[in-house]
Amino acid sequence: MIPVKQTFDTLTKGFIRPCQWMWQRIQLLLIVLLSAPLVYADSPVNVIHILPDGSSISSELPDSIPRVLNHFQALTDKEIRLRAETRYSLHQLPDSKEAWEAEKSELKEKIVQSAGIEWVSTDLPFDLRETERHEREGFFIHDIAFQTLPGVYATANLYRPSGNGPWPAVLVMMGHWSEGKLAGQPIGEALARNGYVAMVIDPWGAGERSSYPGEFEYHGASLGTSLLNVGRSLLGIQVMDNRRAIDFLISRPYVDGDKLGATGASGGGNQTMWLTALDDRIDVSVPVVSVGTFDSYVLGHNCVCEVLPDGLVHSEMAGVLALLAPRALMIHNHNEESNPTFYPSEMLRTYNQLKPLYEAYGAGDKVAYDRFDRPHGYFQENRESLIGWLDLHLKGRGDGSSRPEGQLDPMDEEKLLVYPVDRFDGVETTSGYVRDRGRSLRAAHLNRDRLDPNELRNSLRVPLRLDNRPEPLPVRRYDAKEGWQRLVLEEPHGRLLPLLVGRSAGREPSGEAIVITHPQGKEQIPEAIIENHLRQGHTVVLPDLYGTGETDLSEENNFDDLAQFHTLGRASLWLGETMIGEWTEQLSRLGKVLNQELEISSWHLDATGETGLSALALSALEWGDPASITLRGTPVSWWSDRREGIDHFSMGVHLPGILEWGDVSQLAALSQAPLRVMDPVTLTGQPASQVFPEWLREYRQARERVGNREPVDSLRP
């Protein structure tokens, strides 16, 4: 279910974005007219390229940028698919219990690190706040809030059978129903009526934990991804949250802490898997419409809450579910599923790997699956199967088959709100958590007297997910088109980097090249920028960086209605990469091509938006030697100061743990190239002019701390 506000935002993007783009073009044209040498408006701009045989061609600057590749045929999709399928084949479970016992601790530690999980002490007070108690026939519902992380409170409904107990308890985790726990009322009631304590908890960032009191919202996309910058992931922080919910249940006198279960659908089923894999106290797990393969997750239309950074580097889903063995696991999938990620066929690929390992533990009867003729969701059939499976493995009753849930009598959902009027400030939101943690991390870096440039460079590779400096790659040349020479760099994994190279006719070559990048590809570069560089006699190079322009995903797999690079950004993380890191590698290779293939003596970078961060990273790592870097509309910091505008940049702008490393100012400090900054903005797209003196001072001070004397200038404050 998609919230109204999100639906409105999605519908209006088609109108708002073109207007913003047009205004940016007008601004850039004004800048060029005011700062560039005087030219006549009716003077044609001819593009010339010197071919390898010494001949030349020339034409006027075309109205549109020509393509480099005639038929791309979704090569990016195929390259990602091949790599994901290869990882699936490589990740095999061992045949014996002993071999798996030797491996699983290491896998758990990798998951914890990649997800940004930091276990909270059990000594942290729950500070329980109960706002309402509803007495029903045979059970009670408690509307509660309790502390899960220091200063962070979760909202939940606690369903408790009448009497003293103790009863087995089940944590119910909701998926992408924006109203959160309210959608889980039937599960909570069915469990309570059948002798179980059930906590139905609002997922992090959803339900009553959304950005604005009384407004339900989707917790993923750029909002959820912004947690990466402060060293968390939405997946990981949900695990931290839910583990504390288990702590809370065990602390209740009416709960039998030795008999615990977990369940949820979709994203809630995903949470069920991760929590049970990392918390051995849970005896029974029932993930619903969530089990497939990580291979199928990579290009699926999944939420960022289902993304483990580096996930396919570490394991496949069968490996994560194997961490549950020999505890009881029942998997539900639906025959009318609309998302290929969760098709029963994908589930069976995982189940067929998992079953032999359970048998090696002598627990083959503790793993099973069921399929229902239902669409995506959590239905009566699921609840009745859940009760039967719980009865067998927590109460020792029955044979595990479905049991009737009984007649349900749901309440008005508004009565289940913990804070129907004024929300307690401790109910932390994603944007609030990112703001506060980010501010603290930044303060720690800014208060350092000295920065070690070598240490910073070496550690920068971790958030960028980069290894060694890339080697030169083969270059293919094609016939010129409309005055532009067309080249393609052949990269690892079958990727291609297409680029255009052109030079203005009628001017002596300057021996300098300008590489112009844009996060939406070369066709979105304003003509005014290209014309200005051509008139100055520069060789102009227009690349389509990974996932942009001609290398974008096909429409079939491009689910970017929520945010640009929603699909590709998630796929990169699964494969142990980042968008900014990949662009940095490409720029490094491109620099070598300019020097070796095109005999360019010096080259400059003119980068728009988040591609400017890759330009800075290139120079900071000393993987390239651009003579200067111009940043246009690039964020001045990875710190997100507010909720509004969180979608200004693409999902590719976020890096795992970058604010634990430093910030854009430290990146700029390591760059040995002079910087020119135009129209700087915050991460949420606000003009940096309001904080410009402080921002510029921060950059200059950071450069002084590493002994860098190259200037930082601004053309517009």
Digit-coded pLDDT (tens) for 171-181: 999 988 888 99
Give the burial string for 375-393 (b: 16+ CB within 10 Å, else e): ebbbbebbbbbbbbbbbbb
Range list of H helices, 174-280: 185-193, 221-225, 234-251, 267-278
Q: What is the pLDDT of residue 63?
A: 54
Given a cut of 80, whether residue 52 has pLDDT beyond it is no
Sequence-ordered list of residues with C-beta below 8 angstroms from that of 119, at least 6 positions apart, any chain: 240, 243
Please give the mean pLDDT across all residues of the chain.
88
Q: Are 311 and 233 in contact (CB under 8 A)?
A: no
What average pLDDT does this structure show over 342-357?
98
pLDDT in the model for residue 48: 41
Q: What per-residue string of b and e applies to 323-354 under the rule 16 or more CB within 10 Å gives b?
A: bbbbbbbbbbbbeebebebbbbebbbbbbebb
Lowest mean pLDDT among 41-45, 355-359, 438-442, 599-603: 41-45
Residue 167 reports pLDDT greater than 80: yes
pLDDT band at 446 (very low <50, low <70, confident <90, very high): confident
Whether the pLDDT of residue 278 is over 90: the answer is yes
Predicted local distance difference test score (pLDDT) of residue 113 = 97
Torsion of CA 360, 366, 370, 376, to 10 degrees: -100
The CB density around residue 520, as the number of other CB atoms within 10 Å, is 18
For residues 66 and 694, which has the higher predicted lDDT (pLDDT)?
66
- Return d(Cα 381, Cα 368) in angstroms, integer: 15
Q: Where are the beta strands (DSSP E) in 234-340?
A: 255-265, 284-288, 328-334
Are 163 and 169 within 8 A, CB to CB? no
Highest averaged pLDDT of the listed ranges 10-14, 44-48, 58-62, 235-239: 235-239
Tell me the sheet residues that pair with 199.
158, 171
Do residues 546 and 505 lie in contact, with contact meaning Cβ atoms separated by under 8 Å? Answer: no
Band (717; pLDDT cuts 50, 70, 90): very low
Compute the average pLDDT of residues 308-326: 98
Residues 431-470 as b/e (b if ≥16 CB within 10 A, e otherwise) read bbbbbebbeebbeebeeeeebebeebeeebbebbbbeeeb
**Type of residue found at 609:** G
CA distance 432 to 428: 6
How many CB atoms lie under 10 A from the CB of residue 637? Answer: 21
Judged against a pLDDT cut of 70, whether residue 51 lies above it is answered with no
pLDDT tens by residue, 97-149: 999 999 999 999 999 999 999 999 999 999 999 999 999 999 999 999 999 99
540 or 44, which is more confident: 540
What is the average per-residue pLDDT within 571-577? 97
> In whole angstroms, what is the distance from residue 382 CA to residue 663 CA?
47
**For the residues 670-681, what does the mean pLDDT come to?**
90
Q: What percent of the chain has pLDDT over 90?
A: 74
Q: Judging by DSSP bridges, how do beta strands 629-632 and 675-678 pair with one another?
A: parallel
Q: What count of residues does the chain have?
A: 717
Please give the pLDDT value at position 516.
Answer: 97
**Given a cut of 90, is residue 8 above it in pLDDT?**
no
pLDDT at 73: 67
Most confident of 392-401, 487-496, 699-708: 392-401
> pLDDT-based confidence at 28, cuts 50/70/90?
very low
What was the pLDDT predicted at 716? 53
pLDDT of residue 692: 61
- Residues 553-565 have pLDDT tens digits of 988 777 778 889 9
Measured in degrees and rounded to the nearest 5, phi and psi for residue 446 equal -70, -20
Q: Is 8 exposed, middle or buried (0-12, 13-18, 19+ CB in 10 A)?
A: exposed
Least confident of 48-62, 300-314, 414-428, 634-648: 48-62
Q: Give the model's pLDDT for residue 706.
A: 85
Q: What is the CB neighbour count within 10 angstroms for residue 95?
A: 11
Query: Among the ranges 20-34, 75-89, 687-701, which has the highest mean pLDDT value?
Result: 75-89
**Is 80 exceeded by the pLDDT of residue 319?**
yes
User: 451: pLDDT confidence band, cut at 50, 70 and 90?
Assistant: confident
DSSP H or E stretch at residue 158: strand 152-161
**What are the C-alpha distances in Å from 677 to residues 575, 692, 696, 704?**
33, 11, 10, 18
